[in-house]
Amino acid sequence: MLQNPGDVARASYRAYADKDRDAIEALIAPDFHFTSPLDNRLDRDTYFRRCWPNSVTLARFDFVDVAVHGEHVFVVYEAETVDGRRFRNAERLRVRDGRIIEAEVYFGWNVPHDARDGGFVDACG
């Protein structure tokens, strides 16, 4: 079992991109919780029902930054979908005893950015 939180984090993204359910199940603790702008503290079972099916849309993750601070891992990545779209996100994972106990996702932007350099796009909603 991996013990370094950064290695655990990287392995979880590889498992997601590889659609390796057994590998990711081994990396996620029984008391795991997942939060994103769309999800509020989902438990492990709900995460696998709601979020795991999205793995079919992801082709790969390219790590921009992986920083370990104690049991927390801060990850910035660019992901590529199977249809070639790219986007950047940031996540904070909490790892204990070689397993992820918490994930917080902060949505980023499309790559390339939808706004021109020095510009912006209007918010929807």
For the segment 63-81, the average pLDDT, to the nearest whole number, is 98
pLDDT digits (tens, 9 = 90+) for 78-88: 999 999 999 99
CA count, 13 A, side-chain hemisphere, 49: 6
CA gap 85, 112 in Å, rounded:
9
pLDDT digits (tens, 9 = 90+) for 24-60: 999 999 999 999 999 999 999 999 999 999 999 999 9
Topology of domain 5-111, CATH: Nuclear Transport Factor 2; Chain: A, (3.10.450)
